[in-house]
Structure 1
């Protein structure tokens, strides 16, 4: 997850307000992160990467130019292949064979038609971030998202991080409350497990923390078991049967590669 803005005649990662990036909220030019992703895909051709962009870029085809410049378009999963109305996604093996291993979603509805970048809310539901999203008693949808139980959206994103982030409490939260919130959101989403999990400080816990949660989610999605290691060898499932971990960083939110088996 990345927050992208026009800044200094370029595209920058920035965590700001009001649709404008300022010196105090700017992190770095986005081109460095995009080149890092391209290098990762070169070295890991069997991985799938998803970018979910909070998109404040208003420059003419600014994002398209960025993706072309960094060589990411050759990995692009086209909007024309994305399922509508809750249909199944292609199998991961098929995506890999076609070298369509990069999925990009934007928060700007107009860029699906103008730049071929998928409009996030056509394909996924998302819970609220911040303190509201960490409440294990109720899982409420993000204000821009359809209700979590809307099955015409085939992907589910669960946020679990404070605003602003608090490193000192994340260790305990990842060891306890995170699992409870995922079960609550599973029920709210019509008995669907999260495909994407967004957290802060993902390496911090009293035990296996976020990684145990990832094993649980992947296990439930792939074979109905609460540990993916119990699933054994299986044929490649549809993309919607995998879960990806995302993690926030200083400004904008960074999408980590899928870490599954």
Structure 2
């Protein structure tokens, strides 16, 4: 790291440009200094004191933890600075610079066993889980759309996410994941065929036989049995939790231990109501409520639901989706 500082001195000095270099493990070192002042003037002791003071101030300002000692939200420059369970992350919308944040969630089944109903546990959900930074284009066209995640689907699952929100579209004769608008996927808003993501989920469930994954689909697929086909091709149907076992009047869900024992470890919800009857895919709002996300949900003394959801105090739904942004 280098810092260039323009320091103004008394009138007899024109200017001084001073460059220091440092790493997190060492003090600042004066690497170059150039001064312009009248030729008949010698080196000033005052100038030496100013430089020394600047070095000390810079050293104090940048002193920080390192070598695995940084705690959550401490400033950091690399993952190695952060203590176990944390990594160095930059989030301009949340804080300045880079800070240590959690890399994985707490495994609730290690705090409490899996003998309770599914709806008695809380799970981390990733919004637009497929909209991943630097995800390669599958259309040959540069993507012009918003991304929400830095981690791959596999990394999200390995880090503790157990519910994924996916947007499914008809595109190029298949089902694709797309971050688009007005129900239409375009070359510049498409991420990739849904089969690729579903196969990642299948690999995770296969490798982790006690884990349960929930998929919440913002669904724009109109092709008859389009979703059924892609789920079958991905190998996920063997984990499918059937609609017939889902409670519809606010009762408790199946015990997590029973879901694991029966290998019914994939819950899928769609935003299209008719698909519950036509394809056996649960209609989301028959089973859950969701708060109004963003600024519209931040109303003192009120707890509004999003417009598609039943009211949050509807006791006939056993699941609650809490969305922040």
TM-score range, shorter chain: 0.5 to 0.7
Deviations 1:208-255 (A, max 9, x none): xxxxxxxxxxxxxxxxxxxxxxxxxxxxxxxxxxxxxxxxxxxxxxxx
Rounded to whole Å, the distance in 2 between the matches of 1:70 and 1:6 is 17
User: CA-atom RMSD, angstroms?
Assistant: 1.2
CA shift for structure 1 position 137 = 5.3
CA shift for structure 1 position 109 = 0.3
Which structure's relative contact order is higher, taking Cα pairs within 8 Å and 6+ residues apart?
Answer: 1
* Alignment pair present for 1:14 and 2:175: no
Q: 1:64 aligns with which of 228, 235, 260?
A: 228
The equivalent of 1:150 in structure 2 is 314
Rounded to whole Å, the distance in 2 between the matches of 1:96 and 1:136 is 41
Higher helix share: 1
Between 39-48 and 24-33, the greater mean CA deviation after superposition: 24-33
Rounded to whole Å, the distance in 2 between the matches of 1:83 and 1:99 is 18
Rounded to whole Å, the distance in 2 between the matches of 1:49 and 1:6 is 24
Note closer, same or farther for the CA distance 1:46–1:134 as it changes in structure 2 (3 Å cut).
farther
Note closer, same or farther for the CA distance 1:7–1:151 as it changes in structure 2 (3 Å cut).
same
Rounded to whole Å, the distance in 1 between the matches of 2:208 and 2:300 is 36
SS of the counterpart of 2:313?
coil
CA shift for structure 1 position 134 = 5.0
Deviations 1:131-171 (A, max 9, x none): 2235565321010111000000110001111xxxxxxxxxx
Note closer, same or farther for the CA distance 1:15–1:24 as it changes in structure 2 (3 Å cut).
same
For structure 1, the 5+ residue unaligned runs are 162-261
Residues 67-78 of structure 1 aligned to structure 2 (within 5 Å): 67-78=231-242
Deviations 1:5-49 (A, max 9, x none): 001111111111111111221111111110000000000010010
Between 89-98 and 9-18, the greater mean CA deviation after superposition: 9-18
SS of the counterpart of 1:104?
strand
Rounded to whole Å, the distance in 2 between the matches of 1:159 and 1:133 is 10
The equivalent of 1:96 in structure 2 is 260
The equivalent of 2:283 in structure 1 is 119
Q: 1:39 aligns with which of 192, 203, 225?
A: 203
SS of the counterpart of 2:322?
strand
SS of the counterpart of 2:186?
coil
Between 79-88 and 135-144, the greater mean CA deviation after superposition: 135-144
Note closer, same or farther for the CA distance 1:131–1:78 as it changes in structure 2 (3 Å cut).
same
Rounded to whole Å, the distance in 2 between the matches of 1:5 and 1:136 is 37
What TM-score do you get using the length of structure 2 for normalisation? 0.48
The equivalent of 2:295 in structure 1 is 131
Between 137-146 and 28-37, the greater mean CA deviation after superposition: 137-146
Rounded to whole Å, the distance in 2 between the matches of 1:61 and 1:94 is 29
* Alignment pair present for 1:55 and 2:228: no
Rounded to whole Å, the distance in 1 between the matches of 2:255 and 2:300 is 32
For structure 2, the 5+ residue unaligned runs are 1-164
Rounded to whole Å, the distance in 2 between the matches of 1:33 and 1:130 is 27
Note closer, same or farther for the CA distance 1:24–1:133 as it changes in structure 2 (3 Å cut).
farther
Rounded to whole Å, the distance in 2 between the matches of 1:31 and 1:68 is 10
Rounded to whole Å, the distance in 1 between the matches of 2:238 and 2:257 is 17
